[in-house]
Amino acid sequence: CIRDSVIPLLRGGFMFAADLVRYMDVDLQIEFLGAASYGEQTVSSGEVRLTLDTTLPLSGRDVLLVEDIIDTGLTLAYIQNLIKSRNPTSLRTIVLLDKEIRRKVDVEIDRCVFNIPDRFVFGYGLDSPGGFDRNLPNIVALKE
């Protein structure tokens, strides 16, 4: 019985999640959640919108949420609360990039790969203004 669900937060988390699950040696299912708070801006609007929801029930599952970047924490807090309301057995969160200096709300992170300064970054799944450059193989910072 498959009890593990990996949920990349779209759109930015898809590349990191794809690389991550290749190394996971467990039976798992992949679901997707989409949320937006940036629009075409380089800073969060503070308003989180759910743009895509999961299709499978999460009750009784061990869930790993995969996030590309934490900025204010508003989007991640919203998504974590949404998942918790669906009664998973457990919820763990892994984040590729953390801009802790911009945090507005506390969020629980189980694993962070890199802490970064307060710069706008894109590439490797993260988009530049206008929604482009997700396909770049590296993460780069917008010129100041």
**pLDDT tens profile 10-62:** 999 999 999 999 999 989 999 999 998 765 555 556 788 899 999 999 999 99
Nearest alpha-carbon partner for 53 in 96, 94, 10:
10
Written as one letter, the residue type at 82 is L
Nearest alpha-carbon partner for 13 in 41, 32, 39:
32
Identify whether the C-beta of residue 142 lies closer than 8 Å to the C-beta of residue 42: yes
For the chain, how many helices (H) and strands (E)?
2, 9
**Which residues carry out catalysis?**
71
* pLDDT digit string, tens, across residues 72-86: 999 999 999 999 999
